[in-house]
């Protein structure tokens, strides 16, 4: 009896103690919103960010405050620094651990209530782990062999298989069709991006209502671009962004490369050389296996990829290159298609979220180099975007930024899909028109 009791306690602890530990590390971390009114204040804050090694979630601008996650030990240093420089700030969340506990509770309750077990597919009421998505991709290919091929593209730093789907009515043989490429979860903590790719897969394979999207277009969809980081956000550190490369560690400190700074276009020009930074660019372009895998897919299919979507969160932005503020030669077309995609989403989005804003990433937000979509654009892919999906906002939930309320999961998939379809149809027309000449 006692042995059985101990076993129950052990099982409970394995389930519960690790949960405690996961959120415990953020106990006392606070979220600040900072009003940066002038360029001087912006540079002062950038220096403070670097010195205190802060995790900036939004850099602010266009009337929006900067948002920054601050560990307990750095809070007074930050407040003193801002006070001395006359910069206004607001404490948005006193203790983010409470929000993490709430997200976990809401998601696990939603998973327990899920009643779609009789129907094939991954339900849109919770956020699925790597293993479930991985198995789902394999199962899809076996159930729909004439439409879906699953490809193992290579392994992550920790050895996880990175899979993508090829969805095609013509087995990718009809070169008169363009390819639309999409990926999500390059940044580990951006959980709400996964439903966007899973929703697209559902509408292209399981619940097809618009045949033209399959007749006229081939699709490549890679749902989990950074599987090690993603699993780490579930098991150890919810706000982890980078991959899990350990080769750069300083003693026991700091690891991981920002995969969205590791691509071979303008590499290292506007990113960090410090492994402790959230934007650490790695030892060279494509030093990380996860980035090299995406490079290889893009190179293999680049001449047919007309639209390239790298899905991130958060902020309701539709961004295009280049990260140094220079526009590609077809910048006006990229902007116009971006606006059409944004309008398609805005037409069905929840009123509590703001409209999408479309523009060049450096001009709207901040300079960045070595990004995935800039690399795709630089290869000659006509339309490359970084979607930043909305943060969940409504009147009763206090979840912020990267955290996901289960109520928003299906909506995030649905509304993003409206934008993707708009862009995909434009891509089909423009690819055909160009190749007729
Ligand atoms: Zn991101």
Scored b (16 or more CB within 10 A) or e, 139-155 reads ebbeeeeebbbbeebee
Scored b (16 or more CB within 10 A) or e, 1-40 reads eeeeeeeeeeeeeeeeeeeeebbeebeebbbbbbebeeee
For residue 386 the two structure tokens come to: 């970084």
Asked whether residue 421 is assigned to any structural domain, the reply reads yes
Pair 247, 337 in one domain: yes
Distance 153 CA to ligand 1 centre (A): 21
Residues with CB under 5 A from ligand 1 (ion): 187, 312
Q: In a 3-state reduction of DSSP, which class is residue 237?
A: coil
- 283-296 pLDDT, tens digit per residue, is 999 999 999 999 99
- What sign does the CA torsion over 152, 154, 159, 165 have? negative
Pair 90, 109 in one domain: no
- Out of 208-217, 356-365, 385-394, least confident range: 385-394
In this prediction, residue 251 carries a pLDDT of 83
The one-character DSSP state at 280 is: B
Number of domains in the chain: 2
Distance 313 CA to ligand 1 centre (A): 6
Which residue among 65, 94, 123 closes a domain?
94
Distance 305 CA to ligand 1 centre (A): 22
- Annotated active-site residue 388? The verdict is yes
Distance 276 CA to ligand 1 centre (A): 17
In this prediction, residue 16 carries a pLDDT of 47
Distance 56 CA to ligand 1 centre (A): 12
Cα–Cα distance measured from residue 74 to residue 60, given in angstroms and rounded to the nearest whole number:
20
Which residue, 145, 254, 192, is CA-closest to 408?
192
Scored b (16 or more CB within 10 A) or e, 162-199 reads bbbbbbbeeebeeeebbbbbbbbbbbbbbbbbbbbbbb
Q: Are strands 383-389 and 317-320 parallel, antiparallel or unpaired?
A: antiparallel
**Average pLDDT of the segment spanning 406-418:** 96
Pair 294, 317 in one domain: yes
Pair 295, 407 in one domain: yes
Average pLDDT, the chain: 92
Asked whether residue 371 is assigned to any structural domain, the reply reads yes
**Average pLDDT of the segment spanning 391-398:** 65
Most distant CA pair in the chain, distance: 80
Concatenate the DSSP letters of all residues of 117-170 into one string.
Answer: TTSSS--TTSPPPHHHHHHHHHHHHHH-TTTEEEEEEEE-TT--EEEEEEE-TT
Pair 53, 130 in one domain: no
Distance 53 CA to ligand 1 centre (A): 18
Beta bridge partners of residue 363, listed in sequence order: none
Pair 134, 192 in one domain: yes
Pair 69, 193 in one domain: no
In this prediction, residue 148 carries a pLDDT of 98
Pair 117, 261 in one domain: yes
8 A C-beta contact, residue 281 and residue 261: yes
In this prediction, residue 304 carries a pLDDT of 97
Pair 90, 108 in one domain: no
Cα–Cα distance measured from residue 343 to residue 355, given in angstroms and rounded to the nearest whole number:
8
Instruction: Judge if pTM exceeds 0.95.
Output: no
Pair 389, 348 in one domain: yes
The answer to whether residue 117 scores a pLDDT higher than 80 is: no
CB atoms within 10 A of CB 210: 12
Using 50, 70 and 90 to split pLDDT, how confident is the model at 3? low
pLDDT: which is higher, 220 or 117 = 220
The answer to whether residue 76 scores a pLDDT higher than 70 is: yes
CATH of the domain at 68: 3.30.70.340
8 A C-beta contact, residue 371 and residue 286: no
In this prediction, residue 250 carries a pLDDT of 87
Identify the domain containing residue 82 by its residue range: 23-94
In this prediction, residue 6 carries a pLDDT of 52
Select which of 99, 231, 306, 388 is catalytic: 388
In this prediction, residue 398 carries a pLDDT of 66
Percent of the chain with pLDDT over 70: 92
Helices and strands, counts by H and E, the chain: 13, 12
Which residue, 378, 384, 366, 328, is CA-closest to 183?
384
Using 50, 70 and 90 to split pLDDT, how confident is the model at 7? low
CATH of the domain at 431: 3.40.630.10
Cα–Cα distance measured from residue 401 to residue 405, given in angstroms and rounded to the nearest whole number:
11
Pair 146, 200 in one domain: yes
Q: In a 3-state reduction of DSSP, which class is residue 55?
A: strand
The answer to whether residue 268 scores a pLDDT higher than 50 is: yes
HSE at residue 41, side-chain half, CA atoms within 13 A, is 18
Cα–Cα distance measured from residue 313 to residue 335, given in angstroms and rounded to the nearest whole number:
20
**Average pLDDT of the segment spanning 263-291:** 97
Pair 127, 174 in one domain: yes
Which residue among 44, 61, 94 closes a domain?
94
Which residue among 94, 117, 133 closes a domain?
94
- 14-37 pLDDT, tens digit per residue, is 444 445 568 999 999 999 999 998
């Amino acid at each position: 009896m006692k042995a059985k009791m101990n076993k129950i306690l052990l099982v409970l602890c394995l389930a519960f103690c690790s949960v405690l530990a996961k959120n415990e590390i953020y106990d006392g971390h606070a979220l600040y919103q900072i009003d940066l009114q002038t360029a001087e204040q912006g540079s002062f804050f950038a220096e403070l960010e670097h010195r205190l090694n802060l995790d900036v979630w939004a850099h602010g601008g266009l009337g929006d405050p900067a948002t920054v996650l601050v560990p307990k030990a750095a809070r007074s240093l930050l407040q003193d620094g801002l006070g001395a420089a006359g910069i206004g700030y607001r404490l948005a969340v006193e203790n983010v651990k409470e929000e993490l506990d709430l997200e976990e509770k809401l998601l696990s309750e939603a998973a327990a209530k899920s009643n779609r077990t009789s129907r094939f597919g991954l339900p849109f009421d919770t956020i699925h782990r790597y293993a479930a998505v991985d198995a789902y991709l394999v199962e899809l290919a076996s159930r729909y062999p004439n439409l879906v091929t699953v490809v193992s593209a290579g392994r992550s730093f920790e050895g996880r298989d990175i899979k993508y789907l090829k969805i095609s009515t013509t087995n990718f043989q009809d070169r008169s069709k363009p390819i639309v490429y999409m990926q999500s979860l390059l940044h580990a903590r951006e959980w709400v991006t996964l439903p966007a790719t899973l929703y697209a897969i559902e509408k292209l394979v399981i619940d097809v209502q618009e045949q033209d999207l399959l007749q006229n277009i081939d699709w490549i969809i890679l749902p989990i671009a950074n599987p090690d980081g993603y699993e780490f956000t579930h098991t150890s550190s919810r706000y982890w962004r980078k991959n899990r490369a350990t080769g750069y560690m300083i003693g026991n400190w700091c690891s991981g490369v920002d995969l969205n700074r590791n691509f071979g276009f303008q590499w290292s020009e506007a990113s960090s050389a410090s492994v402790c930074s959230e934007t650490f660019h790695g030892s060279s372009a494509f030093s990380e296996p996860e980035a090299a895998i995406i490079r290889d897919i893009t190179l293999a299919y680049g001449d047919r990829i007309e639209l390239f979507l790298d899905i991130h969160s958060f902020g309701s932005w539709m961004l295009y290159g280049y990260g140094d503020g220079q526009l590609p030669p077809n910048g006006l077309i990229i902007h116009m298609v971006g606006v059409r995609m944004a309008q398609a989403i805005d037409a069905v989005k929840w009123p509590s979220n703001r409209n999408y804003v479309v523009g060049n990433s450096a001009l709207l937000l901040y300079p960045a180099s070595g990004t995935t979509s800039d690399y795709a654009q630089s290869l000659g892919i006509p339309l490359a975007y970084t979607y930043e999906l909305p943060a969940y906002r409504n009147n009763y939930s206090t979840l912020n930024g990267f955290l996901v309320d289960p109520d928003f999961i299906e909506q995030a998939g649905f509304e993003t899909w409206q934008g993707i379809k708009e862009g995909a149809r434009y891509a089909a027309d423009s690819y055909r028109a160009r190749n007729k000449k």
